[in-house]
Structures are given as structure tokens and as C-alpha cells.
Structure 1
């Protein structure tokens, strides 16, 4: 097996599992699988994990384990406390030399945020299972219900290994590069806002909805098509690019797509929910 790239498919993961379990041909790195399924508006997706998961996968809560506490500023899903994150990852069995594969139900959002968080924390060998658990089942992947008890890991969290934006940097970015608003077009235009108390977008931001980066099966488009999509929005090699959404989860998926396309994006972690926490910040509407 080769070290995975940014995304892996079910066939790669199944082969990695087979090698990890074969003493005669062991996988070259310890393999850790994280189930980060997430029920928006529900207390937890742990019941889904208990009813069936990829063999050996450890369940990790996105909101409680991989993001910080929601406060007056910082958005709904702020950066996690590094010490808390290290504790969570070690409890899940993540080692310094682990290959980590993260998956969700299939929309890619929590898995992408988990991927981004691990990369931000300094763990480079991490990939998203493209298509998530739905793709795993469709490919005939095995399922188990036993709750794994991984040996404690030894990973060290080194925060700040991926670029981030705060509100000031997000406001300034359109002057030198491209700031992508990846929410639905009607939310960007300020016509409808089902979650946040203020509608609209950051002045100068360009709307590239996350839905445009995936195919009908929910999997990422190939790198060439992603480059075309982002190029149409003005993204260029060598110029800064950043992304935001409502709370920093959907934008992490766009950061994943940008990375697959060959760019190095910055994530405005606080996103729109942080931007509007200061009423003095300007709000744009329309196109």
C-alpha cells in the first residue's frame, strides 16, 4: 500500500484494512479510522456508529471533540483547544506515525473538517474517505458493531500548521486574492438566512457553493474539473485564496477541494457566524 493522498476510495481503505490485519504483509503505517458522522440538530450520531461502522473505526464527536466551545465570538465551530484535541486523538489511538482515514455519512462536511483539523494540528498523513459510509456500504465494505478499544496513541498536537483567517484578514483578502463564500447562493445574496440572525455576505467575497464541487454521488470532482471551477471564480496559482461558510464546517470541505485542485487555501474558521458577531462589520447583499 502507498501512503494515501488527500482522499481515498473504499477500495483503498479495504485493501489497507486487509494489510493491517495480515502479519505476513503488514501495512507500513498504523491505520486509524475515525467515524465523525454528524447529525445536524441532533445530540449525537453515536447511535449510528453503534448500529454499524467500518471495522475498527473509533467514533469522535465533531462538535464536542474536534471544535471549541461556541461563545459570543469565534463562530459556532471555533478552533479546538490544543490540549483537549490531543487528548481526544490519543484516546482514539492516533499515533505520530498513524495513517488516519476519516469518514462521515457521505456529504463530506464533518469528515473534511476533521481532516482539516488534523492537518492544522500538524498530522499530515490523513485522508477523507470519498463518499463516506454510504460509499463504503455501496462498495460492499464489511461492517461491525463492536466498539473498538484502541491502544492509546502518542500524537502531539502542534496547532497552526494550516493557514487561517480572522475577520480582519478575511475583509482584506479580496484586495489581493479571492475570498470564497461557499454557502448556498440565496444565503450569499441575503435572500434567505435559515440559521444566522443576519443575512448577506462579506463584501468582496465570491460565491462558489460547496454543492458545485461534488458529483451526483457526493464525491469530489476530479482535480482538473475542480481547478476549472475555482479558476472561473478567479482563483489563481500564487495568489491567496480563502474560504468561509456559516460556521467553518462546509468551508473546510471547500478547503479540501481546493487542496485536491492544487491550491493552498486559508480557512476563516469563525466564518459568517463570527463575522456578524460584531455589528460594525459591513454586510453586502445581492450579487
Structure 2
């Protein structure tokens, strides 16, 4: 299970268990979370910039948040101070989006134990956790990633061609809000609509009102209702591959793999020959 509670994290930190905490605060409206990080973060947490460290905007044609190169992630995990044997805990403060992206990427490149702080920063403070505003001095880590090739082979992904074919053999989930899925309102990308055959499962549907993931039984019910049963191949996309990772994390908690279309809608619409449903 990719989740950790605030209480369990506090216990690890108090016991001195090998733990590296990463602050991945990011929202669509405010993608740079550094100011919020400096205003107060979990003690010892290192700030991770999703836009520059968990995406590579120099890659053309792969959507708004292309996956970074594995070599760049190798440099990053050492810069963040991740050592062999560390449990890595990632958190954010907006619907698990930034933390799910970090969890997915780090797991994909072979970091052995990555956990999402369930409920994010709010869960930490609600549990009595203190915050600090100083940036910690971090020594370079020694972790060598298990994946060295450009492909993210340890987590299932989909190409646009596989996305187009998934409707015949499985279930494709669109993690965006209903108004963007339907094409009634598009506030981010230049083209409105969704991939034909996709079913709408907003990423917030797998979270409760406090931003925590639903209990496993409730998650199974959500997946079953949308048709994403355990014996059926399931894929997910969103606008640019960020919030779809929340569905992947939810699937992981109940043993139902969800393949990610990393470029998502923002990549799909780069080819005018690809069909669009509204």
C-alpha cells in the first residue's frame, strides 16, 4: 500500500528511522509551491519543484508535463538526500496531486519504498505535527536507481496508440472534473472534450472531504461502479498526467493496476487526426 498516516510518519521521525520527506506542493493555479513550503513544512522536508524536477518541458509533443529523463531523476534523488534503505514520504496540500506524481515517478524508476502522506499537510497538522520554516541542510544521498533506461518499465504506461485501443479490451478513465471531461468547459488546454470511450472518474472521487484516500472497501466500490474490475485492463489520463496518478495510487492500494497515459489529454490533442468526443 502506497500510503502512510501522519501518526506513522511522526513515529518514524521520532524514532530516527531512515526517512526522507519530500514536500511536493503544487496546484494548477499556483504551480510553484516554494513560498508555501518556506512558510511552514514538516521538519526536515525537502522542497521538490514539480514543474522543473518532476517534468521535462523541453520534450516536445508529450503534453504539458512530459516525464523527466531517468538520468535527471537520478541526480534529483541524490540532491534530495535519499539514501539506500530510506523510506521516502511525499506530501502536498491539494488533492494528493503533487504527491501522487512524485510517488508514481519515484516508484517507476525503482525507489523501493515510497509512501504518500495520506491527507497531506493538513493531516500532519491535524495530528498535532509541528511545522518549521527553515530549509534543512541536506547531504547528497547515495541511492542508485534500479531503472537506468529511458523507459519507465516498473510502472505500467500507455502510448496514444494503446489508449485508442483500450476501449476494445479494457477501461479508460478520465480523471478530470466532469465539465472538462464533457467538453462543456475547458480552462487549461486549447481543445475541449475527451478520448472516445473514456469514462469519467474525477481524481477527487477517490478522496474523502479531508483529502484522504477512501478506505479500501470504498475504493473497490468506486472502481466497480465505473467498470474497472480487477480482471479488466485499466488505464487513466487527465490533463497532463498529474491527477491521473491519484487514480493509479488508489488502484495500487486495492491491488488493481492502473496504467498511466503520461502525456494525457494535452498530448492526445497534439495530433489533429486523433478523434475527440464531447
Unpaired segments of 5 or more residues in structure 2?
A: none
Q: CA RMSD in A?
A: 1.3
Where do 4+ consecutive residues of structure 1 move more than 6 Å? none
- Please, which of 204, 217, 221 is the counterpart of residue 211 of structure 1? 204
CA shift, 1:70, in A, is 5.3
* 1:194-238 deviation line (CA, Å, top 9, x unaligned): 111111111111111112111111111011111111111111223
Residue of structure 2 equivalent to 1:274: 267
Cα offset for 1:106? 4.1
TM-score (norm 1): 0.92
Separation in 2, partners of 1:174, 1:39: 30
1:228 maps to 221
Aligned partner of 1:168 in structure 2 is 161
Structure 1 residues 70, 222: closer, same or farther in 2, change over 3 A? farther
Note the C-alpha offset of 1:39.
Answer: 4.2
Q: Check whether the contact 1:106–1:133 (CA below 8 A) recurs between aligned residues.
A: no
Pick one of 194, 199, 202 that aligns with 1:201. 194
Per-residue CA shift, 1:2-49, capped at 9, x if unaligned? xxx4111110110010011xxxxxx2xx21000011143446211111
The equivalences for 1:1-287 within 5 A come to 5-20=1-16, 27=17, 30-42=18-30, 44-69=32-57, 71-157=59-145, 158=147, 159-285=152-278
User: Does the 8 Å CA contact 1:66/1:80 hold for their aligned counterparts?
Assistant: yes
Can you give the 5+ residue segments of structure 1 that lack an aligned partner in the other structure?
A: 21-26
Aligned residues: 273
TM-score, normalising length: structure 2: 0.95
Cα displacement string for residues 83-132 of structure 1 (whole angstroms, at most 9, x for unaligned residues): 11111110101123210000001421000000000011111300000111
